[in-house]
Structure 1
Amino acid sequence: FTRYKIRDPSTGTYLKFRLCDMRGLEGDMNVKSEDIASLLDGHIPNKYKFNPAAPATKDTPGFVKEPTIKDMIHTVVFVIDGSNVEVMPDEIVKKLKDIKEMLIVRDIPLMVFETKIDKVCSEVDKDVEEVFYSETVKTSVDKVADVIAIPRSHVFPIKNYEKEGSLQTGISILALRALKQALLFSEDFLENQS
């Protein structure tokens, strides 16, 4: 688990949000439910390495015993490979739904970044703006929303930078649009805490 500060390149100052990341749930990644709950509640320290044999406790080095709102997770984003939704293993779907239930209890917003959308639709591979018009993309977004059981408006198709040698406006817009919504959800979460 890692927290990342985001710096404004024009001023050199850090922006007032952080992105947190943890390894995916695939394969042998067996994060305990207790660890996910502790992470959401702000108890897990930065750079923590999850132990599949035992969850973090108050005795874990760096464990935040009295987390503040700054330590808590304000929005959760599942990053799902759009080209693999149909073959996603049942145990992964179950883990995602279990996490979703933890979020509901805590009123933490959930959204999905559906990546590799260009692999889902060849038209998007040719022209990323087609993401807004493609029936194939719409069907894929619907499928992801159905699997996770969230509103379709919480699923954001994104094209990964893969073969591009420089930034492309269309690709960046998809990612920035999704990030903007994550920040808006986080604002909503914070407003509901007061």
Structure 2
Amino acid sequence: MGGGPSTLLDKPWKALPKNNQESLHFMKWYKPRNKEASHLRILLHGPVGAGKSSFINSVDSVLQSRVTGRALTDATSGGSFTKEYKTYKISNGPDTFYSFVFNDIMGLEQKANNGVHVEDIKLALRGHVRDGYKFNSHPLTEGDPSYNPSPKLDDRVHILVSVIPADSVSLISDEVIKKMREVRLAASAMGIPQVAILTKVDKACAEAKQDIRNVYKSRYLDEQVNTFSELLGLQANCIFLVKNYAKENDTQDDTDALILCALRQMINYGEDFLNDL
């Protein structure tokens, strides 16, 4: 675990929301200004066990003010626990939903034919993958019932989020990084904005575990952000630190603030993309 004596900076390098209620109000009333889009679609990708499904659950938990677990996770699985392409909507009151949705995908693995295929992620970015598609040993092809030949704007991805555990940034294999970069380049060619989240910050840094408010003061986590920035070619100011809800039975304001900070930027960037179309 990173961290130790004199590992905290005097000032945080990223500001968190001063008032979670303002962020929650923004989420509640957000609607895409582009009338062709009824929602903003957020796609999460990254290696097996990075915390993609847990992040969806954590966002749901923040917005429901209670810990939830709709996206199934597995703490002991050696492979990806997510087996199919699924859209997650989050309740915003009786019979209504927030105007952003999440898509979770199978995790990336080191071996070429293991985990999700890069080509499947590229197809998902363009909106060609239907809900319920089961990832398998070969990529989705035209003519398959799960292939959407005529995607609408709602079907396409509006922001791509790379998810990596903060406690193993330097341990990610070159093969997985290569796959993630290939996905990033494909998204860039489509004009899709991108951010990244580093999860499990409490496992990576002793100061963060002691007080989650220390995350953006941690020298060690700052180093992990810079390392990941160099590996993936993503600007450091587009990389966010989060702690997913895993052991807690109740939500906590400081953990919520980290999640809301990342989510707000995802929506801002995705909204800019929709407005530029």
CA distance in 1, matches of 2:233, 2:257: 26
Gaps of 5+ in 1: none
Kindly state the Cα deviation for residue 12 of structure 1 after the two structures are TM-superposed: 4.0
Runs of 4+ in 1 over 6 A off after TM superposition: none
CA shift in 2, pair 1:15/1:163, >3 Å:
closer
Match of 1:7 among 88, 91, 97: 91
Counterpart code for 2:132: K
The residue aligned with 1:108 is 192
CA distance in 1, matches of 2:135, 2:247: 33
Higher helix proportion: 1
Give me the TM-score of the superposition, normalised by structure 1: 0.92
CA distance in 2, matches of 1:161, 1:34: 31
Match of 1:42 among 119, 127, 133: 127
Deviations 1:126-161 (A, max 9, x none): 101101211122111111111111100111011122
Structure 1 residue 68 and structure 2 residue 155: aligned?
A: no
Whose relative contact order is higher, 1 or 2, with alpha carbons under 8 Å and at least 6 apart? 2
Which runs of structure 2 are paired with 1:85-124 in the superposition (5 Å)? 85-124=169-208
CA distance in 2, matches of 1:165, 1:44: 35
Matched residue of 1:85: which SS?
helix
Gaps of 5+ in 2: 1-84
Match of 2:232 among 142, 148, 152: 148
* Identity over aligned pairs, percent: 32
Kindly state the Cα deviation for residue 27 of structure 1 after the two structures are TM-superposed: 5.0
CA distance in 1, matches of 2:118, 2:218: 37
Which runs of structure 2 are paired with 1:150-189 in the superposition (5 Å)? 150-189=234-273
Matched residue of 2:98: which SS?
strand
Kindly state the Cα deviation for residue 31 of structure 1 after the two structures are TM-superposed: 3.1
Matched residue of 1:111: which SS?
strand
Matched residue of 1:156: which SS?
strand
Counterpart code for 1:64: N
Give me the TM-score of the superposition, normalised by structure 2: 0.66
Structure 1 residue 52 and structure 2 residue 137: aligned?
A: yes
Instruction: State which drifts further: 20-29 or 131-140.
Output: 20-29
Kindly state the Cα deviation for residue 166 of structure 1 after the two structures are TM-superposed: 1.3
CA distance in 2, matches of 1:188, 1:168: 30
Matched residue of 1:114: which SS?
strand
CA distance in 2, matches of 1:95, 1:159: 25
CA distance in 1, matches of 2:150, 2:249: 45
Kindly state the Cα deviation for residue 35 of structure 1 after the two structures are TM-superposed: 1.9
